A and B are shown apart, each in its own frame.
Chain A
Amino acid sequence: MRTFEEIGLLFGRYARQVLRNPIWLFASLITPILYLALFTPLLRHLGGQTLSAGAALDLFLPGILALVAFGSGVGPGFSLIFDVKAGVVERLRVTPANRFAILIGPILVTMVMMMIFDGILLVVGALFGFHIHPAGLGLLGVLLALLEVTTAAFFSATSLRAKGDINGFAAIANGLNLPVLLLGGVLLPLSLGPVWLQDLGHADPLYYVASAARVLASGNLSSNLVWQAFLVLVPLCAVVLVWATRVLWQIIM
């Protein structure tokens, strides 16, 4: 009970921080919208054939939803860098508050933000012809939440281990971003690439999410890709959460 209360308190703390810096909210929403606006026209003329705007969006938008989930996970990591420097993390760690609550509070805020962003993207996409399949999108929401929590916990722990060094953290975050997104087939399906690239993609959790996202968004709930994605994400999320909580417990700064 107490832990839930603490999670609520720390959720409120981070939510206020985010809402008082709306420029960040705007910046994180503008990137996926730009991707959609600039990338979809390219896709329409892929491989010699011409797709309708709706068909191109059906192919492209699910990947963008996964991109938003992954990208928003970096947020709590960045804010922890500043919190470590300002002594906020130490102040919270001296209180008897549950360590898991300290970790998960901000992560849940970004999860809610991610859901809202993805909702906006779906609405915008639908206006331009994207086909909405509610059941598939519902299950996709669960999968994306898992992905978001996993990435946010991973970047939170990475940030704590960087001990307030923003350059160290930014190097890791940026260094991981491109290969993970590329190998995940988020922007372009890996099936367009050579076999070795597809094989490499199997080492990337995002690959499973992006693949499942495409079939789920098309309304297909029974594809093997769906349970495979959950089979990868559920244990991964659990392991990363346990690890990140341990880091918060015993970090030496």
Chain B
Amino acid sequence: MAGAIMSNLETGQENHGQGVRTAAIVTRDLAKTFQARRGAVEAVRSISLDVERGSIVGLLGPNGAGKTTTLRMLTTLLPIGRGSAQVAGFDVGREPHQVRTHIGYVSQLGGSDEVLTARENLHLQARLYGIAPMQAASRAQSLINQLELSTYADRAVKTYSGGQRRRLDIALGIIHQPEVLFLDEPSTGLDPQSRANLWEHIRSLGAGGMTIVVTTHYLDEADALCDDVYIIDQGKIVAHGAPAVLKQQIGGTAIVLEWDTPPQASQACELLRSAPFVREAVLNETLLRLYVDNGSEALSALLHRLEQAALAAHSLRLSQPSLDDVFLRTTGRSLREETVEVH
């Protein structure tokens, strides 16, 4: 599969006369309010990020959480509303040109030219970053090889499949070997095979020293890909940490019970919330999630209590805590269910 792409990246050693830069991205209380026709929309309320160089960081959140808006501010596409942001050591508001030369951005929409071929797209993109024609051609060729685009590299992009197109989008974002790469929902709409393949490519970029920010509403993506995850809801960070650490904080096992009607579920919630073996209970309509230390012990005690109260659940399952549980605990809603609702 793809080798370590751009292993010659010089991140970490560069110094732009601003002292030694340690963080790739620093933001403080970043916020953006849109003036829409139907009043103001607070798309981003307060986002403070500290992204280490060479790390892969995930912004995980449901639709409308403000992920794209945050990226568009960090990539100079959108004027910053409030707060501050430095990317690759440059102030986004004051030095947009410098920021642009050091970053790559792959938008949710892609952005390749449909009537041009992959090679033409890549060549033009390299030239726009000031790379000389000869070198542009050789970089285009090596990315075509690395991202496995060679079979269709000279065909118009409009004939590509979703996965092929997404790989080209990423190639366009990295052809100038940026220090920081922003990927907005890189794997949305791809089949599991293509997603796994894309993750592999992203990982190898990270291994080459590139700092990568990925937005996603897929839990498994954040879990599988990211060293560090910011969980975002309604424009705010609700949790932050390495996926493993975040899940550990939830701890133990989650027991998910379901009843036919919401009143039954809330009655059961009242009954079980105060039980000694329950660390935390989260109710959502007919679903009740209990976080417990010892799954099997808790289970028998819990079933016993429900039986006594004539509140037997119609379904029950055990699960290890996921990032979804982290989201659930902080917001009371499930990312998973929200994603399902939207589609």
Question: Which residues on A are within 8 Å of B, measured CB to CB?
Answer: 2, 5-6, 9, 12-13, 16-17, 20-21, 85-88, 90-97, 250, 252
Does B110 lie at the interface of the complex (its beta carbon under 8 Å from any beta carbon of A)? yes
Q: B128 near A252 (CB under 8 angstroms)?
A: no
Q: Is the CB of B115 within 8 A of A20?
A: yes
Contact A90:B109 (CB < 8 A) given known A13-B116, A95-B100: yes
Interface size on B, residues (CB 8 A): 32
A250 x B79 contact (CB < 8 A)? yes
Is B127's CB within 8 Å of the partner chain A?
yes
Contact A96 B130 (CB under 8 A): yes
A13 contacts B77, CB within 8 Å? no
Q: Mark B100-131, 1 if CB is under 8 A from A, else 0.
A: 11011101111111111000100011011110
Answer whether residue B97 sits at the interface, using C-beta atoms and an 8 A cutoff: yes
* Cβ B125 vs Cβ A87 within 8 A: no
Count of A-B residue pairs with CB < 8 Å: 70
Task: Classify the secondary structure of A's interface with B.
Answer: helix
Residue from B97, B101, B128 within 8 A of A92 (CB atoms) = B128
The answer, among B105, B115, B116, B128, for a CB contact under 8 Å with A97, is B128
**A21, B77: Cβ atoms under 8 Å?**
no
Interface residues of B in 65-108 (CB under 8 A from A): 72, 75-79, 97, 100-101, 103-105, 107-108
Q: Chain A nearest CB: distance from B135 CB in Å?
A: 15
CA–CA, A92 and B121, complex, Å: 11
Q: Would you list 15 pairs from A and B whose C-beta atoms are within 8 A, ordered by A residue? A: A9-B128, A16-B120, A17-B116, A20-B156, A88-B112, A88-B113, A90-B77, A91-B125, A93-B77, A94-B100, A94-B104, A95-B128, A96-B100, A96-B101, A252-B78
In the docked arrangement, what's the CA distance between A194 and B222, Å?
A: 71
Asked if A16 and B111 make an inter-chain contact with CB atoms under 8 angstroms apart, the answer reads no
- A contact residues around B100 at 8 Å (CB): 94-96
Question: A87 and B109: CB pair below 8 A?
Answer: yes
For the complex, what is the distance from the CA of A86 to the CA of B158, rounded to whole Å?
11
Q: Which residues of B contact A252 (CB under 8 A)?
A: 34, 78-79
Task: Establish whether residues A87 and B110, one from each chain, have CB atoms under 8 Å apart when the complex forms.
Answer: yes
| A95 pairs with B115, CB closer than 8 A | no
18 more A-B contacts (CB under 8 A) besides A5-B127, A17-B113? A16-B116, A16-B120, A17-B115, A17-B116, A86-B109, A87-B107, A87-B108, A87-B109, A87-B110, A88-B111, A90-B72, A90-B109, A90-B111, A92-B128, A94-B100, A94-B104, A96-B100, A96-B129
8 Å CB interface, B39-67 against A: none
**A13 CA to B124 CA in the complex, in Å?**
8
In contact, A86 and B120 (Cβ under 8 angstroms): no
Interface centre among A12, A16, A95 (most CB of B within 10 A): A95
- Which partner residue on chain B sits nearest A18 by CB separation? B115
Report if B172 contacts A (CB, 8 A). Answer: yes
Q: In whole angstroms, how far apart are the Cα atoms of A6 and B104 in the complex?
A: 18
Q: B306 to chain A: closest CB distance in Å? A: 52
Q: Which 7 A-B pairs have the closest CB atoms?
A: A87-B109, A91-B111, A87-B111, A96-B100, A94-B105, A95-B128, A87-B107
Q: Are B79 and A90 in contact (CB under 8 A)?
A: no
Q: Is the CB of B103 within 8 A of A91?
A: no
Q: Is the CB–CB distance between A95 and B125 below 8 Å?
A: yes
Is the beta-carbon distance between A94 and B75 smaller than 8 angstroms? yes
Q: How long is the Cα–Cα vector from A236 to B72 in the complex, in angstroms?
A: 33
In the complex, the chain B residue whose C-beta lies closest to that of A92 is B128
CB distance from B307 to the nearest CB of A (A): 56
